[in-house]
Structures are given as C-alpha cells and as structure tokens.
Structure 1
Amino acid sequence: MKKLTILLCLFTLFFAFTCENEPLDFDSESTQTETELLGDWDLVEFDVSVSSTTNFQGQEFTSDVQILSIDENYTLSFTAGNYSTSGGYTLTADVITNGVEVSGEPYSIENITGSGSYSVNGNEMIVDGSFFEFTFDGIDLSQFQGEQTTDFQVSVDGQTLTFFQNETTNETDATTGITTTNVIVSSSVWTRQ
C-alpha cells in the first residue's frame, strides 16, 4: 500500500509542477517575457493538492492527496526556448480516502535529469515535456510527458519565479462506467541562482 501511495503521489507531482501561496511582490498588471526566465532557478518548495471523486455503480469514493517538498536540491535552467532540470528533492504525501488518513513518510528522489522546450504567452507557459522526470522502482515515467500549460509570475525584482497550475479533469471509462473527477491545485516557488 505504501508503494502504491507513493506512486500515486509521484504521478500527481509529475503532472503538477507548482507551489506555495506566500505573498510576494508581483506586478499583476504586467505580462512576463522569456528574457525574464533565462538562467538557473533553485526550487524553494512545491505544494500539490489533489481531490478525487470516483463513482462506480452508484458508489462514491473520495480521496484527498497533499504532497509537500521538505528538502530541495533541484535546479531548473532556462535558455531561449529550452529548459533542463537536475538534482533531487524529498517529499511527503498524506492521503485521505473515504475518511481514512494515511500519513506519508519522507520519500527522496535523486539524480533527476530532464529537458524540453517551452514557449511564453503573457503569464502562461506551454511546456513540451515535464519539469519532473524520473523512475520509480524501475518504472520509467517518461511516457507521461507531453504538452502542459501553467501560469507563472516573476517577482518585480526578478529573483522569484512562481508557477501555478490549477485544473479540473473529468474522465469516464466507457468499458467499466467508472467516472472520476480530479481537482488539482499546485504551485512551486523558485529563486534565481
């Protein structure tokens, strides 16, 4: 069960790469430019919350997952139109399923490397790939890469980068009739090296 919980959390983190709602000095009227992103950024923290509701033959199952970074040594580097990632981090994940809570133990992921391309349109970034690429128990998760869209802001002083990714998904399996709704709220905070 512990490995399944960790794997679920890693899949969630893989798709949601953003963190912390601390008040920062941002100019809400301005749009960002690619030039503001160029260089190396160190991860300060990430926070991912996922609420899921699954319906199957009239039965409803709910789960809430909270993933937090607790030790970060992870770098995101931007060049014109491309990015790369390297390093590692430790996370914890707490899961509540139908009212039963399972508190997660720290889980470290090391030797992460990745790369991809991106484009910027105002305060929105379209990423081809993933900021988080790794394997878990020998399972290569790179097949889950693809185009993702996230909102971002660079602080007025240019030293803090924050990603926000909030989305709701609804899926129905035509074979089983299982319907699932996921509400994902995530953010990550980075500081310029």
Structure 2
Amino acid sequence: MKTIKLSISLFLAAITFASCSSDDDNSFNIDESLIVGEWTITDFDYDVDTTTSFEGQSITASATAVGSNFDYNIIFNKDNTLVADGSYDVTLETTVAGQSVGTETTTVSNIETSGEWSIDGDQLTFSGFTTGDMNNNGFGDDVSKSTSTITILNENTLQIVSDFEDLEGSGSDLPDGAELSVTGSAVMTLSRVN
C-alpha cells in the first residue's frame, strides 16, 4: 500500500509540474504568448521505478499510471501566475520485487493549485502550492521549483514531459537509515479551452 501511495503522490507531483528536472539537448525556443490561456488535460501517463535500500537489502518497485475522467483545467495568466483546479482518476499498476501488486483506480478531487510559471527555451518552470483530496484524505504540497520540457506548444495543444531523474530521499514513512531512489517520466497533454 505504501508503494501505491508513493506512486500516486508522484503522479500528483508530476501533474502539477513537480518534477525534478528535464534536460533536453534538442531544446528550442517557445513563444510564451502561446501558453497564455485556459487548458484542460486530455491525456496523462507515467512510468516510475523505485529502489528502497535498508540494512544492505534493496527492494525494487515499478508503477505505471494512466489518468482518465479528466475535469482538470489550468490557466496560465499573462502576469506569469497560474491557477488550476478540478479532478481526475488515476489507474495505477504496481509491481514490487518482480511480483504484481495489482491495479487500483483512485479518484483525486478538489484539486486547487496556485503559483507562478516561466519559460526558458523549452523548459516550463512552476512554483506554487497544491491541495486536494485522494480517497477522502486531504493532501497539500509546496512546490518550490520544478521544471518540465515542453515537447508541443501550438494554438491548440500543449504537451510536457517531466523526468524523475535520480530523485533520492528518505520519507517519513521509511525507517531510519532507509534510502529511496526514484527514476521515471510523465507525459501530460492538454488542449486549449480558450
């Protein structure tokens, strides 16, 4: 269950642009004026691999998630502020130590995000705060700065890729001395509302 919660948390982080980084040698300059306006998420998926090490032992896990039933809009304002709200479902398939843990669909609702955005080349940077409910449990996450790569931006479509590159840490759910390493990526596609 902790693996599923971690994977869903990573999904939420990615959907609010909370990725570690995304470096792309094929960067190009984006016309910032194209991003201004309201967008709705039409597709989202991610793959993530984790390794948890404790007292000389390692456990690997992987998760694949696909979003659905999107009712989630993001507004990029001209003054570089951002607001987002809505809900979506996420179906998560998890494997631990090579064994399937199963598939679970969770509704994430009452999501509210506010923050600031900027674009440098093809890099979209976000900072702000997100709150919401997952299975009737509230959550909040302060995103100090995260960056994703814009792979498509035109009048109708925005697509970003968030890479989880060698994220490391020790979460409050881990025993003292345990280490967690996370790698993976998420792809989000949005369509312009107006």
Task: Sort the TM-score into its range (normalised by shorter chain).
Answer: 0.7 to 0.9
Q: How far has the Cα of 1:53 moved from its partner?
A: 1.1
Cα distance in structure 2, aligned partners of 1:171 and 1:112:
25
The aligned runs of 1:1-193 (5 Å cut-off) are 1=1, 4-17=2-15, 30-80=28-78, 81-129=80-128, 133-136=131-134, 139-155=137-153, 157-166=154-163, 167-171=165-169, 176-193=176-193
- Residue 15 of structure 2 aligns to a residue whose secondary structure is coil
Q: CA deviation at 1:79?
A: 0.5
Give CA deviations for 1:111-166 in whole Å, capped at 9, x if unaligned.
Answer: 32221111111111110125x531335654324432111111334x4211011111
CA RMSD, Structure 1 to Structure 2 (Å):
2.5
SS at match of 2:131: coil
Query: Where in structure 1 do 4 or more consecutive aligned residues deviate above 6 Å?
Result: none
Q: In structure 2, do the counterparts of structure 1 residues 85 and 179 end up closer, same or farther at CA, with 3 Å as the change threshold?
A: same
Identity, in percent, stands at: 22
TM-score by length of 1: 0.81
**Number of aligned pairs?**
180
2-side partners of 1:176 and 1:169: how far apart?
Answer: 18
CA distance in 2, matches of 1:5, 1:52: 9
Cα distance in structure 1, aligned partners of 2:156 and 2:28: 16
* Contact preservation (8 Å) 1:17, 1:163: no
| Higher strand content, 1 or 2 | 2
Letter in 1 for 2:85: S
- Alignment partners' CA distance in 2, 1:101 and 1:111: 30
